[in-house]
Every structure is written in structure tokens, then in C-alpha cells.
Amino acid sequence: MSDSAAPLTTADGVPLKVSLRRAVRRSKFKALLLVSPLLLFLMIAFVIPIFEMLSRSVANPEVVNHLPRTVAALEDWDRQDVPGEPVFEALVEDLLEGQEARNLGLLASRLNYERSGMRSAINRTARGLRTMDPPYREGVIEANARWGELDTWKIIQREARLYTPSYYLAAVDRQLSPDGQITRAPDNLQIHVNLFWRTFWMSGLITLMTLLLGYPIAFLLASLPLRHSNLLMILVLLPFWTSLLVRTTTWIAILQSQGVLNDVMVFLGVIADEARWQMIHNKIGTVVAMTHILLPFMILPLYSVMKTIPPSYMRAARSLGGKPFLSFRRVYFPLTIPGMAAGGILVFILSIGYYITPALVGGQSGRFITNYIAYHMQTSLNWGLAAAIASILLLVVVVFYMVFNRLIGVDKVKLG
């Protein structure tokens, strides 16, 4: 079995490895054929969109495509003063062509992300070009003062490349100054970092809540006789079979200020009618509803681990002289750590990507970063920024997953 020995061969002299490969090739091909529909589906619906999203978060084609002459003319610009007539001539030609093709809007939005006021600068100037005669420099600057500012040209020159980090910078509340330094965004635009932190700590809190609530239930499930545990399991799974929207809106009915819980509290005299608790459309609402919704994802991995712990371990610990709590702490609890980690990572990853529930019950203060991804996708139409935020979220999930895999092992995640 030493390494220096000649490779093994079959009886007719073919190397054993080659022969083995030949033998399994057919069955491998068959297996591949069987999974190919799913593989194709995953490629189209999952892998390609993810790469599309990743590329969109850095893509920057607008200036290159819509101001080609301007960019060329700016090549030998000294960056000391507003450029001269040739650059303005090129700009006019580019804008005229863009207006003809009716695609100046993309360019206008893109430059507006970098420097406010650029949208109207481009749109208004383009509209007035028909009546303008050369030399253009003064006329264009007169049409909009932005063209007479040095920073405008620096930005145009800077953005004349196909990739940009500015979406990622915007996602963490940073921006590039016209000279290329990374600076903090103005205070009134500091929203994303806070939202990231809020998403993470609230997801952590939700994970902790599901663990505290789920552990005893999983323990009961694993230790009750089959007849009772089956019933309990149905109760655990029942939420899975109910629409997410139904579960979320039910919490609105229970928690709102004219809701069931407040009514009962007022009726019992615990709180005054005019001092009803505000439990929905804020952080409390998000935490309560999401804890409820994600609870099964904690219970099931915990249960699957606890089920494999034979009752004889606890009995052995007791017979060896361990008091009940000590036996639990020293013997049972350490054995459930893989289940807690599996449930924890599952709930945490699910909750940092949760969207509908925070949107419905989170109000302004209980919203997650995902709600801003949706906002940038649907309302502000800044897809680059949405893609950058989503990519950061994806990165965080991948990091958590890798840490988990290193510490516990992914094979421990089982649902029942």
C-alpha cells in the first residue's frame, strides 16, 4: 500500500482507476439526466439571477454609452478649470443624439445619484439645444449653472468607466467626493447602516425568542409518548399550513390599539382606556409576529437532535449521582447544542431576509433592510443600490453559514 508501488491494474492491464471510471460513467450519466430538470430550473431561476444582481450592483454603463464624444473630449482635460469649447460641442452632440433616441433619462438619473440637480441640468439643457448656435459653452452654462461647475465635469470624467463602487458606498451611507475620496453621506441621508444594524439585532432577538420558546416544546416533542407527541407535532406544524399573510394580519387584529389584547387589558382594568399599549406597527409588532412565524424552524431542528439523544443518558447521569438540573446541564444540554445552532442559524438567516411581515406590522420603526431593497426596486427605481444592499445581505448570510459550517457542520440541519 506504499505510494511508490505501481498503480493497480485490472487483470487485462488497464489501470484500475480508468476501469472504475468507465464502469461508473454510465450510472453517473443516468443520475445527471435525472437531476437535469431541477438543475436547469435552478440555473434559470436562482443562479443566473444572483449573478445578474451581483453585476448590476457594480454596473455603470450610462456615461460611457450616452456621452461617448464628451468622454473622449475630456481625455486631455487638465481638471483645473471648466473645460473649453470642444468638450461642450461634444456634449451638445451627445445630448442631441440622446434626445433623438429618447434615452437621456437613464443618464440623467445616474448622474443625479452622484450630484443632485444633474437630472434637471441634462433634461432642461437638452430641451433648449434646438435653438442654440455655436459656440455652445456660454449658452449651455446659461441654460443650467451646473455645467459651469468644476465638480460636474470631474464627476462625468470619473463615471466614464463601466464599473463603479458607488452603489456599495451608498448602501453603507458613504459617497465619493468629486475628487474621488470616500466621505460620509449627509446626515439626513444616513439610513442604510442603521437599518442593517436594526435588521441584525432584531433578527438576533427573534432567534433568541424562538430558542427560549422552542426548546421546551422540542423537549416535550422528543420525550412524550408517540400518541401525544404526534398531536403536539401537528400543533407545531399547523402554522406552516396557514398562509403567511393570514398569520401576520391575525397579529394585527390581536395587537392593535383597538385589538383583542388591548380590549381585554382595558376590560380587566390593567390599563386605562386612553393609555392603550402600542404593540403593532413598531419593533414589538415585528418581533412578536416573526417569532411566532419562525418558531417551527427552531423547533424542528432541535427536535430532530433531541430525538436522537437516548433517555438512558439522563438516567445514567442521575444514577451516577447527578441532581436533575445538574444532569440536564452537564449531559443533555451540551448534546442539544448542534440543534440549537442549526435552528439558530436557520431562523437568523430567514429573519434577516424577511420582508412581508416587517412591512405589514413593522410600521416605520420596525422595518428591515429588505423593505428598503423593495423600496429601491419599486419606488425609487435605483436598482443598482437595491442590488448592492441585497449583495451585502447575501454576503452576511454566506459568512454566517461558513462560520456555522466550520463550528457545527451543515449536515446537522435536519427538519424532523
Query: Grid coordinates standing for 342?
Result: 442549526
* Binding of other proteins by 304 (CB under 8 A): no
Query: Per CB under 8 A, which region of 229-237, 308-316, 362-370, 397-405 contacts other proteins?
Result: 308-316
CA–CA gap between residue 24 and residue 33 (Å, rounded): 14
Q: Which of 369, 388, 377, 381 is nearest to 58 (CA)?
A: 388
Query: Grid coordinates standing for 52?
Result: 445578474
Q: Which of 347, 331, 335 is nearest to 400 (CA)?
A: 347
Query: Per CB under 8 A, which region of 1-9, 30-38, 210-218, 310-318 contacts other proteins?
Result: 310-318
Q: Which of 198, 410, 234, 208 is nearest to 295 (CA)?
A: 208
* Binding of other proteins by 326 (CB under 8 A): yes
Query: CB of residue 3 vs other proteins: minimum separation in angstroms?
Result: 27
Query: CB of residue 313 vs other proteins: minimum separation in angstroms?
Result: 5
Query: Per CB under 8 A, which region of 86-94, 187-195, 321-329, 355-363 contacts other proteins?
Result: 321-329
> Are the C-beta atoms of residues 111 and 118 closer than 8 Å to each other?
yes
Query: CB of residue 333 vs other proteins: minimum separation in angstroms?
Result: 10
* Binding of other proteins by 323 (CB under 8 A): yes
For other proteins, the binding residue among 55, 116, 120, 319 (CB under 8 A) is 319
> Are the C-beta atoms of residues 85 and 135 closer than 8 Å to each other?
yes
Query: Per CB under 8 A, which region of 1-9, 51-59, 136-144, 329-337 contacts other proteins?
Result: 329-337
> Are the C-beta atoms of residues 355 and 368 closer than 8 Å to each other?
yes
For other proteins, the binding residue among 233, 289, 317, 387 (CB under 8 A) is 317
For other proteins, the binding residue among 76, 246, 310, 378 (CB under 8 A) is 310
CA–CA gap between residue 291 and residue 203 (Å, rounded): 9
Cβ nearer to other proteins, comparing 332 with 383:
332
Cβ nearer to other proteins, comparing 131 with 312:
312
- List % helix, strand, coil for the chain (3-state, nearest 5): 75, 0, 25
For other proteins, the binding residue among 174, 247, 307, 318 (CB under 8 A) is 318
* Binding of other proteins by 316 (CB under 8 A): yes
CA–CA gap between residue 263 and residue 254 (Å, rounded): 9
Q: Which residues share a beta bridge with 253?
A: none
DSSP state of 76: G
Where along the sequence are the contacts to other proteins (CB under 8 A)? 310, 312-313, 315-324, 326-327, 330-331, 334-335
